[in-house]
Each structure stands twice: as C-alpha cells, then as structure tokens.
Structure 1
Amino acid sequence: MSRISSLKKALNKIYFGDNIVSISELRYLPRWIILFIDIVIILISIFISYEIVLGLGVSPLNTISFAQKYLLILCVNVLFMYIFKTFSGIIRHSTFFDLFKLLLASFFTVVSLELLNLLNAAVFSFKLIRTPVLLVYFSVSFTFLFMFRLLVKEFFNIVKEFRRSSLKKRILILGIDEQAVAIGSVILDNSHLPYQVVGFITERQDSKKVRLLGKPIYSKQKVENNTKEDLGYEGVLIIKEMMSRQEMNDWVSLFLSKDIKIFKAPTVQKLRESDLSSSIKNLQIEDLLNRRPIVIENNKIKTHHQGKTVLITGGAGSIGSEIVRQVAQFNPKLIVVLDQAETPLYEIELEVRKNFPYIEFKFVLLDVRNLLRLECLFKEYKFSVVYHAAAYKHVPLVEDNPQEAVMTNISGSKNLACLSSKYSVERFVMVSTDKAVNPTNVMGATKRAAELFVQSMQNVEGNVTKFITTRFGNVLGSNGSVIPLFRKQIEGGGPVTITHPEIVRYFMTIPEACELVLEAGAMGKGGEVFVFDMGEPVKILDLAKRMIKLSGFEPNVDIKIIFTGLRSGEKLYEELLTDGAKSLATHHEKIMISEDPTVAYDSIRVLVEQLLEAAGKSNKMEVVKILKQIVPEYVSNNSIYEVLD
C-alpha cells in the first residue's frame, strides 16, 4: 500500500503541482506494475520472434490462431514468473540471483511449451508452435527482460550519482606529484565522499594540455586571473606535509583572496579507507602556524623515564596533560598526576587509562600550596622526575588577585622545589613563560620569582637534584589562549575582539612545546633556564583576519573586528631573554640556554618569606612591592601598581 500511495503522490504532483518528481519520491513500483511491464515485453518478444522466423523462411503452423498462440505462450511464461517470483524484487537492486530466476522462468517456459507440443502431436498428430519459434522466443524474451532490469538499475545509478555529485563540493587538488595524484584517485574511487575532484593546480606552466586521472591541470596564473566561478570549483584540497611553511602561506593567501574554501588531507601513508571521510578537514589557523616536526632524542629521554616514578603537577591542564601523554610513551613505573581541578583531572584519567592501559597511574586531587600533603606524596612514591606545570597564568585575573598568584606560582613552586631537594629527586623541571622576561604584570613577575627560587636551589649545600627551567611563549589551543577565543567569537557571528592593532605574540603547538620540555629536562645539568626557538612572531590582527577568512567570512564585512585596548599588565611584544642576558646554543637547534642573573638562595628565601607573609594578609600593594624587590626589572604597565615604580 505504501508503494501505491508513493506512486499516487508522484502522479498528483505531476497533475496538480510543478510537474517535477524526485526519483527518491517514487520509491519502489508495486509488483503488479512490474508484472504488467513484463507482460508487455513478452508480447513484444513473441511478435519479434515470429518476425525473425518468418524472415528466415520458416512458415508458421496454422493449427491454431495467432491470438491463441500469443495467449498460450503468455500464460505459460507468466505462470513460471509467478512460480519463481521474478517480479517481486526491487529492480534497481537486482542481483545475479534475480537474473538467474529470470533465466529459469524463461527456460521452463520454453521446455513446457515444447513438451506440450510433443504431447499434442502424440494425441492429435499436430504441433501447436514450431520449435524454432520457441528457441528464438527464449533468446529474445530473456534478453529483453534482462535488458529492462539492467536499464532500470543503471538509470537509478546514474540518477543517484548525479544527485550525489550535485551535492558534492567541487574541489581542486593542489599539486601534481604522486601524493596529490594518489589522494585524487582515492577520492574519485570513493563515491560516498562529499567531494568531487574537478582538476589539479600547480605552479608549473608546462602542464596545461596534460590531464591527470582524466581531469585538467590549472596553472597558478590561471587561478590568479580567474574567479572560482569561472573555473567551476568551490574549494582546494592541500596536503600540508608536502609543503614548506612559506609555500603553504603563499598558496593560502591566494586562495583566501579568491574566497576559496581550503581543505587539508593527510599523506596517503596516513590515510586509511575506513576513516577517509573524517581525514579530510577544513584548514585551521593552527596548520598555518605549525612548523616542521621536532626531532628529539627519544633514547636519551627514555633513559630518564623508563622504570621511573614521575610526578606531573598541573597534569589536567593543557601543557601538563600533554606531558602526561608523552611521558607515558617511555614506559615509566608510575605516573602521579596532580591537579586541583576536579573535572579536568577526571577527564585526563579516563583518557590515559584507555590509551595507556599498561602504565600505572595515580591521580591526586591536591593544591601545590599544601606542603604537608605534598610531602606525604614524596615520602610514599620517591619520585625520580618532577615536572612542575601547575600555575595561575591568566594575566588580567592574576593582576587583580596577586595574593593568589603568589601563593600558587611562588609558594607552590617553592614547596615542590624544596621537597625535590629533600627527597633527592633526580630532575626537577619547571614550566615557565616568556611573560617572566622583563615582566609588566603580576603573572609574569611571579613566574620570574619562581624561576629565581628554583635556580637558587641548585647551589644549596647537599643538594643532588638537577633544577631545570623551561621558558616558552603562547601555545596553540591551550586553555584561555587567543585562538579558541577567536574561533568562539567567529562561530557566534562576531565581533572578534583584539586589545591592540599592533600586538604580536609567539606561538607554538602544545605537543611541540612539551617535546622541548622533555628534551630540555633530559639535557639539563642543573641551574639552567632553557628558552625555545618560537619562530617568527605573529601579528594578532593578521591572525584574526585569516581565521575569519578560513571560516568563509569577510573581515569587517561579515565579522567585525574591534579593538578593546591593552588589558591591565599586558604588553605589545613578548620577549624570551631578559635585558642583558646572553643565550648559549645547545646541541638542539630549537633550544638555547639563557644566562639570566641569579640570586643566592639565602637572599631570595628571606624575600619570599616576606612576600608570603604579605600575601597572607591580603595587602595587594605590599605584595606587589616586595615582588618588585625580588624582580627588579618588573615595571608595571597599564596597571594600578605603576605607582610603585
């Protein structure tokens, strides 16, 4: 009944509507219509069979009329069609088994008619139908019935492919090398992907008349001189691993200027048929800021972790959690993950227990300010390595709450450093920030003070722990970083807010930063401040414009950009070295040692105790005043604490 109603609906649409009927609306024809079409084909086949026989000079028998012959053949054939249910299947989904049933019905029809001939000849001494007619009919009827089903099946396949192609994104593939051709071939062979390859694009000028996979090759110049509508495509697929950062930026700038959507695909080696559709994604701003993969000395790092007990503070944060993942790859005896944030700690627990079932983990909900509880951990687990990533880092919040920053960033670091020395931890690696260099805000100053205290521990009498500090800039995708904020603002329709049109920042990916932390921790001999090569600084305004364009919008047309003014304590340019500090090269090209001024342990211990006492009394000005004594280069900017300078 549903098929009849679908047919009625389609017919009503033709009669009363716009005369347009979608193939998908017609759905499946009722069985009686299929049988009716088969009967028409049978009648035509009988007529053609007689015409062929007559053409061969064989005269038909006049024992019964043509009408009776037609009726006899038709009835017998329909009987066997009913027996084998040749009309009950869905034609567009016909299989070999359906065709085999059709063959059986035609075969038994002819055999039965011939037996009937023989029986009639034995009883009445004459045949009803000549045998040549039956043989020709068998061939003609089966061929026509088969062709009908084949044509319907192919018709629906063509319509289906046409409809699918009309919904697909028409894309060019950047490049004509083996990787580009292989990716193009995979897309063309997979009809379920929402992409249709319409050509390739290259910088070469000698490929205009050549075709790849049957598709044209466009030169870069042709793309520059035409719109995407002229060339008939909507987007471009790039394989970013096959290009240098400069090459990719040049191409992306061209595509964005043409309002062309940019997609990225992995190399064929990383591509698996099972997750092909999820492997092709929109290009993100992170892809343009990424640099070449870092080569680290895994064997040396493995030696410092394999079979060891490792403590990672701030282990639920963006940096700390990545350190957890990377350390887990080196088969430590135990990883203790410490954080005060309950939900993020639970989430990282679920993740790493699933991904590293063979590693033993301990998840501790604890604040690094709590010295007594921390000491219980050091006594129980006897750590070999400590990675200290716990800190308050949001500049405006910390500027308004300097007491809390002092207690966490300085007191917490002091607690961990002293316990590491007391319990003979092999290596203590502190994660710092470029905001600690010539700080203009409380956050940077507290991190610099923590650096100074940790460095001073190296020369304490009887100390055997190697205290190492690592310093780097912004990391892509970290909690509170600018890129997730911009992405959220763009998704919300804008505006995108920037503090100042000239503000610039260094960027590094989270995995890259953590790989360098592990490398620096392994190479450190104690007392060093390692700074990382952050590449070229990025202008935040340019970053915002590119993110808006990558999202398919036009800056200041679809998505507004507004400037809100520098926040309290914020500066335009970040630095990696303090004034007058020199940098020394290491064996790793991306890691340098900053020769910053140091402070004796006894001197900084007294100042830190005074600072913690002031923080306990909630006197902001007194806290920042002492902080400026510990970090003389700390000069407040756009802040209430400027009066102290």
Structure 2
Amino acid sequence: MKWNYFKKRSANVLWGEKSSLSFKNLNYLPRWVILTIDLTIVLISFLLSFAIINRITPNFYHVLTLEQQGLTVGLSYLMFFFIFSTYSGLIRHSTFVDLFKVAVACSSSILLLLIINYLYYFTFHSKIYLVPFLLVDLMVTFTLLFAFRFTVKGFYKLFSTINTESINVLIWGVNDNSIALAEAISISDNAKYNLKGFISSSKRMGRIKIQGKSVFKNDDELFENIAPLKIGGVIIADNTISRKEKNKIVDSLLAKGLKVFNAPKIDELDGSSNVNESIKKIQIEDLLERNPIRLSDDKINEYLRGKTILVTGGAGSIGSEIVRQISNYKPKKILVLDQAESPLYHVEIEVKKAFPEQEYDFLLADVRERHRLESIFQKNDISVVFHAAAYKHVPLIEHNPKEAINVNVLGTTHLANLAVKYEVSKFVMVSTDKAVNPTNVMGASKRCAEMYVQSLQKENHKTTFITTRFGNVLGSNGSVIPFFKKQIEEGGPVTVTHKDIIRFFMTIPEACQLVLQAGTMGKGGEIFVFDMGKPVKIMNLAERMIRLSGFEPNVDIEIKVIGLRPGEKLYEELLTDESTTLPTHHEKIMVATVDSYPYTDIHNNIEDLKQLTLGCNDESIVSKLKEIVPEFKSNNSIFEALDKN
C-alpha cells in the first residue's frame, strides 16, 4: 500500500499535468547533458578502478600523474563517444543497438590507450598505465553507463504507466512485421498494450520464445493455454491472411469476449508516429470479404491530369472521397461544389492540408439554382463533371417527393444541359441500386435522372454521359454503420427493420475508385454497375458490430426489430445478374442492359414534372413520376394506392 501511495504521489509531482516540474514535459535530455553525464561516469569509473587496483598492487607507473592519467582516459572516451554518437539517442528508448554502440566506444577507448601504452613502452621502455587497471576501468565504465541507461529507461516506464490503463494482449502472427511491432510496443511512450506473447498456426513455433515472450499454437487448446495470462485483446499483425480467414479468426476471438485490433505495417509508419495510436480496434469495414481493386491508373490519369474538374456534392461522403482520389492525379483545378456550408469548410481544410500543391475552388452553391451553376461554367473551362449531389434517404424522401424531384431530377438536368452547352468532355453521374425496379420515390427520382442523361447522349456528340450505380456504402452519411455505432454507444437498442433484410455493401474508397475507372470506359449513354460482392444480412451485421464493441447481443445490447420503413425493400435487386448486365474488361464493372428513351419524350415529361412541383400535391408528383418510370411500384408506402389506380 505504501509503495502504491509513493508511486501515485511521485506521479503527481513528476508526471502531473499541472506541475511545473512535470517529468512528462521533458521530451528528452539535451545531447550535451547526456555527454556530460557520460563523462562524469567515466571519471567516477576511473577513480573506482584506481581504488580497486590500488588494493591489489600499489605499484602504478609514474610517467603521468593521477590527474594526467584521468585526463587522458577522459579524452580517449570523449573522442569515441563523438565517433559512435553514444549520446544522440533517447535514453528512455535505449535498445540493444544503443548499448552495443556504448560497448564499442568503451572498448575502442581502452584499445587506443593500450596502443599508446605499448608504443610508449617500445620507445621509452616504460609503460604509462597498468594493463589490469585499463581492463578493470573498461568493465566498470561500461557497467555504469549501462546502469545509467537502464535506470532512466526503467524510471520512465515506471512513471509513464502509473496513470495509464493497459490491456494484456497477444499478437496474432509470427513474421517480420509482428516482431517489429512487438519491439515498437516495448519502446513506445506509454504502455497502452502489455504484450504477453504471440499466436502462430505453425507447429514448429510451439517451443520458441520471441523477445522473451511465449508463442502459442492456434489449436483447440489455445484459449485454455492463454487463460492464466488474463488476455484482454489480440492484435492482428499478419498481413498475409485472407479476408475469409481473418473473419474466422475475429469471430472466434469475439466469441471469447476478446477485443480485436488491427496493426499497421511497421514500414508504413513515419518517424513521428506512435505505434500505440496506430493500433486501432478492428472495424466492420475491415471484415468485408472483398479483394483489392486494380485500377488502370494510366487511363484515369489521361482524362484527369491537367484538367479542370467539377465535383458536385463534394462535401458528402462520396463526393469528398472523389475529391481526395482525383487529387492524386494532379488535375489543373478541382471545383468542389456543395450547399452544406460547414461540411464543405471541413473538406476544404482537410484536402488543402493533404494536397498543398493542388489548386481548389470551394463553391457554396445549390444544384437547383441553374443561374448560379451557369456562372460557374462560364468562369471555368470545365472538362469533367462528377455529379454526386443528391438526396438519398429513402424514408425521408418518401415524405418529401417534391424535394427529390427538385434536387435529384431537376438538379441533374441543369448540370447535364450546362455540360452540353459548355462542351464538357465527360459527365459522370453517381446513381444507386435503388434505381433498379424502384419501390420508393428516391430510387425512382434517380432512375428518372438516369433516363434524361441517357437520352441527352443521343442529342450531342461532344459530351460523354456516363452513369454509375452501386449499393450501400459503408460509413457514408446516414448509412447503417454509423447509425448502429451511435446506438451501441448509447447502450442500445440497435434497431433492425426486418430480421431477414439483406443489403450489398462496399467501402467509400472502393466505390469511388470504381467511379473513376468507369469514367475511362464509357463511350456514352452507358449505365455501369459494380460487383457488390456477397449480400450481407443486416441482423448479422448488427450482432457483429455489438461484439466488436465488446458487448454481447441481446444480453448487453438489445437488438430490436421495428418493421420495414416506407419505400424499403426486403431484398435489393442483384445488380450483377448476368441476364441484365454485360461484362467489361474490368472484372468488377459491368454494363446494365436497360431501355433508353427518346430525348423529346423524357424532356417533355420532366417539364411536366417540374410544373407539378410548383404546387403542393405530392400524389400528382409521384403519379407523374410513375408515368415516367413505368417499373416504379411503391412498397410499404402511402403511394401504393396509385399503383392500384
């Protein structure tokens, strides 16, 4: 009890945030201080060594006085301390390499003194130093230098862990990266993770110890063997395992109540990175069974480099990621347009910091305002438009169909018409899988916009119109992932609309990569659909996210089924059905086989729809939308009656 009290009191004085003497605030000892301490140790060692040898034999040579001998010994050590830079490292992070440098410097110093000693002997037939004295001095000096570094390192580690909660962890995988990670954890500034060992699937690793830590075999007895260590989490550092295998590992660990962390590749960290901060709890996005996308960078570079590019909806999750990705291709200028002020400002700060050489123009504007859009096209020689601005929340749009028409349909027509007028080279529209046989106003409005863009392609020969469709995007604004995370943080319940509902998912970067790639492939008028992988059961997703957060589904956090929302489907259409798609040269991108419509017909219908939005009759608007999009059949919606009529 007294020792713990002493540690805490010491921490408050030496480590406390409010203390002017805070040891924590000393980032490192200046080099001259370390060098001074080392030379002081050399002097103390000299006197100790002299006292030891003097007890054995008082017959020292008298070529130099004691003070002169001390001075020459000190100068010898000083020279080799400079040569090997023994004072340049952080003492609290001393490693074997640092100790090796100290040992070599000490040995070199004594070797030099021995050479001088024997050169003098062969010249003047007398020695300057007793050889036993020099050998004792070597041992004493190295021991004290080692003790100094060991003490500082131990003292730092002791006080750095007092107010830090650490978790006992194992590292999954035994390879160069995992071993380097273990070393980085051991020398990190705080002890957030207390490494207890490694887990390996290799039989030959069973009896091996790495850095003094045991290696446990991944077998049926694994959890029984690690039970005495009171493990709280596992860091996955093996980057060679497949997504499928990783999912299996994560599920087994979560079932035992263990936290699971992802570790970066050590060579990807820069010098200023703290490895503890780079180890993150594994996210649901990390467990998607999807292979990395291979992009044709040359072709993307060809139509983006040196061009002026407009991204609408640029402050949204998809639009902002498009901005980030096209910034890598060094366009002349990127125009980022959005009507949401604060999100647009946040994107501006982020991308200007990440791409300081890139020219941007952040435009606060609304796609519903044609005159504002035209002024932007007049002032800029725009070559490519990525149109990601849209209203997308199904239940909300179901109750506000007028706004869906104004933004999703009329906003698209404004931009598309301006793209033709100002001879934009490419117009890439971001659409949705909900436009396939739509059951809600949102999906139908996007399908209507697709139809207009397709029909416009036939009327001009200078602008290439391309449409891209994909499903739900993990982590996007309003998607189920952040929604579930918030519910879990609040203690539940987690709400699922139906126990059997399924959805297709992809990550934001993946979706935007495919949008860029599709832009290279279109000849005009195509609707590209993306390989969304395997469908995910939302109930399973909720259960997994709860376990990833360290809770047990329906024990710690309740899962509540609340029923389908207005306009919501139980099963989204399978976009990659071979009967409705054609392959392309990219294995993850296909072309949807859909009917196209004459420009005059769709143009006149949209003009009628526009006139209806001037009133307040939602049924008239939706009825006209159903006329334009014949496959639009409402589901779980107040507009189902229109289908019967």
TM over 0.5: yes
In structure 1, give the amino acid aligned to 2:227: E
3-state DSSP of counterpart to 2:516: helix
Once the 2 structures are TM-superposed, how far is the Cα of residue 314 of structure 1 from its aligned partner? 0.7
1:612 is matched with which residue? 610
Once the 2 structures are TM-superposed, how far is the Cα of residue 379 of structure 1 from its aligned partner? 2.2
Provide Cα deviations, 1:382-441, integer angstroms capped at 9, x if missing partner: 311111100000111101000010010000111111111122111110000011111111
1:198 is matched with which residue? 196
1:312 is matched with which residue? 311
Choose which of 215, 218, 222 in structure 2 pairs with 1:217: 215
Once the 2 structures are TM-superposed, how far is the Cα of residue 199 of structure 1 from its aligned partner? 1.7
Structure 1 pair 162–347 and aligned structure 2 pair: CA distance change class (3 A): closer
3-state DSSP of counterpart to 1:501: coil
Once the 2 structures are TM-superposed, how far is the Cα of residue 339 of structure 1 from its aligned partner? 1.0
Distance in 2, matches of 1:449 and 1:581, equals: 22
3-state DSSP of counterpart to 1:411: helix
2:358 is matched with which residue? 359
Distance in 2, matches of 1:328 and 1:148, equals: 55
Structure 1 pair 227–476 and aligned structure 2 pair: CA distance change class (3 A): farther
2:553 is matched with which residue? 555
> How many corresponding residue pairs?
542
Structure 1 pair 499–336 and aligned structure 2 pair: CA distance change class (3 A): same
2:101 is matched with which residue? none
In structure 1, give the amino acid aligned to 2:301: K
1:406 is matched with which residue? 405
1:332 is matched with which residue? 331
Distance in 1, matches of 2:341 and 2:331, equals: 24
User: Is the contact between residue 581 and residue 594 of structure 1 (CA under 8 Å) also seen in structure 2?
Assistant: no
In structure 2, give the amino acid aligned to 1:365: L
Once the 2 structures are TM-superposed, how far is the Cα of residue 224 of structure 1 from its aligned partner? 5.1
Q: What is the 5 A alignment of 1:72-91?
A: none
Structure 1 pair 150–451 and aligned structure 2 pair: CA distance change class (3 A): closer
Distance in 2, matches of 1:474 and 1:439, equals: 15
Once the 2 structures are TM-superposed, how far is the Cα of residue 527 of structure 1 from its aligned partner? 0.6
Distance in 2, matches of 1:26 and 1:313, equals: 57
Distance in 2, matches of 1:96 and 1:288, equals: 52
Once the 2 structures are TM-superposed, how far is the Cα of residue 317 of structure 1 from its aligned partner? 0.8
Distance in 2, matches of 1:247 and 1:579, equals: 27
3-state DSSP of counterpart to 1:198: strand
Q: TM-score, normalization: structure 2?
A: 0.77
1:635 is matched with which residue? 633
Provide Cα deviations, 1:576-614, integer angstroms capped at 9, x if missing partner: 549996211111111111111111111111111111111
Structure 1 pair 457–152 and aligned structure 2 pair: CA distance change class (3 A): closer
Q: What is the 5 A alignment of 1:129-140?
A: none
Once the 2 structures are TM-superposed, how far is the Cα of residue 171 of structure 1 from its aligned partner? 1.3
Matched, 1:384 2:383: yes
Distance in 2, matches of 1:338 and 1:160, equals: 51
- Report sequence identity in percent: 49
1:280 is matched with which residue? 279
Structure 1 pair 375–23 and aligned structure 2 pair: CA distance change class (3 A): closer
Once the 2 structures are TM-superposed, how far is the Cα of residue 492 of structure 1 from its aligned partner? 1.4
In structure 1, give the amino acid aligned to 2:362: F
User: Is the contact between residue 161 and residue 191 of structure 2 (CA under 8 Å) also seen in structure 1?
Assistant: no
2:181 is matched with which residue? 183
3-state DSSP of counterpart to 1:226: helix
Structure 1 pair 222–234 and aligned structure 2 pair: CA distance change class (3 A): farther
Distance in 2, matches of 1:578 and 1:604, equals: 27
Provide Cα deviations, 1:251-290, integer angstroms capped at 9, x if missing partner: 0011011111111111232134531222111111111126
Structure 1 pair 147–431 and aligned structure 2 pair: CA distance change class (3 A): closer
Matched, 1:96 2:96: no
Once the 2 structures are TM-superposed, how far is the Cα of residue 193 of structure 1 from its aligned partner? 4.1
In structure 2, give the amino acid aligned to 1:368: V
Distance in 2, matches of 1:578 and 1:26, equals: 65
Structure 1 pair 207–106 and aligned structure 2 pair: CA distance change class (3 A): closer
In structure 2, give the amino acid aligned to 1:404: E
3-state DSSP of counterpart to 1:616: coil
Q: TM-score, normalization: structure 1?
A: 0.77
3-state DSSP of counterpart to 1:338: strand
Distance in 2, matches of 1:525 and 1:95, equals: 73
Distance in 1, matches of 2:172 and 2:11, equals: 40
User: Is the contact between residue 216 and residue 222 of structure 2 (CA under 8 Å) also seen in structure 1?
Assistant: no
3-state DSSP of counterpart to 2:431: strand
Structure 1 pair 240–584 and aligned structure 2 pair: CA distance change class (3 A): farther
Distance in 2, matches of 1:147 and 1:288, equals: 51
Structure 1: 5+ residue stretches without partners: 1-12, 30-92, 115-139
Moved over 4 A (4+): 26-29, 100-110, 146-167, 222-225, 578-581
Distance in 2, matches of 1:354 and 1:191, equals: 27
In structure 2, give the amino acid aligned to 1:424: E
User: Is the contact between residue 94 and residue 153 of structure 1 (CA under 8 Å) also seen in structure 2?
Assistant: no
Provide Cα deviations, 1:179-224, integer angstroms capped at 9, x if missing partner: 3233223323446342232222122334322333332221222455
In structure 1, give the amino acid aligned to 2:414: N
Q: What is the 5 A alignment of 1:228-627?
A: 229-239=227-237, 241-275=239-273, 276-289=275-288, 291-460=290-459, 462-577=460-575, 582-627=580-625
Structure 1 pair 233–347 and aligned structure 2 pair: CA distance change class (3 A): same
Distance in 1, matches of 2:558 and 2:11, equals: 48
Distance in 1, matches of 2:582 and 2:399, equals: 36
3-state DSSP of counterpart to 1:344: helix
Structure 1 pair 626–343 and aligned structure 2 pair: CA distance change class (3 A): same
In structure 2, give the amino acid aligned to 1:96: D
Structure 2: 5+ residue stretches without partners: 14-34, 53-57, 59-135
Structure 1 pair 107–223 and aligned structure 2 pair: CA distance change class (3 A): closer
Structure 1 pair 591–241 and aligned structure 2 pair: CA distance change class (3 A): farther
User: Is the contact between residue 432 and residue 470 of structure 1 (CA under 8 Å) also seen in structure 2?
Assistant: yes
Distance in 2, matches of 1:220 and 1:106, equals: 53
User: Is the contact between residue 413 and residue 450 of structure 1 (CA under 8 Å) also seen in structure 2?
Assistant: yes
Structure 1 pair 314–21 and aligned structure 2 pair: CA distance change class (3 A): closer
Structure 1 pair 613–209 and aligned structure 2 pair: CA distance change class (3 A): same
User: Is the contact between residue 475 and residue 513 of structure 1 (CA under 8 Å) also seen in structure 2?
Assistant: yes
In structure 2, give the amino acid aligned to 1:351: E
3-state DSSP of counterpart to 2:560: strand
Distance in 1, matches of 2:205 and 2:51, equals: 60
Once the 2 structures are TM-superposed, how far is the Cα of residue 517 of structure 1 from its aligned partner? 0.3
3-state DSSP of counterpart to 1:200: strand
Once the 2 structures are TM-superposed, how far is the Cα of residue 361 of structure 1 from its aligned partner? 1.6
User: Is the contact between residue 256 and residue 549 of structure 1 (CA under 8 Å) also seen in structure 2?
Assistant: yes
In structure 2, give the amino acid aligned to 1:441: N
In structure 1, give the amino acid aligned to 2:473: V
Distance in 1, matches of 2:577 and 2:50, equals: 99
In structure 1, give the amino acid aligned to 2:233: G
User: Is the contact between residue 198 and residue 216 of structure 1 (CA under 8 Å) also seen in structure 2?
Assistant: yes
Distance in 1, matches of 2:224 and 2:570, equals: 39
Distance in 1, matches of 2:144 and 2:344, equals: 64
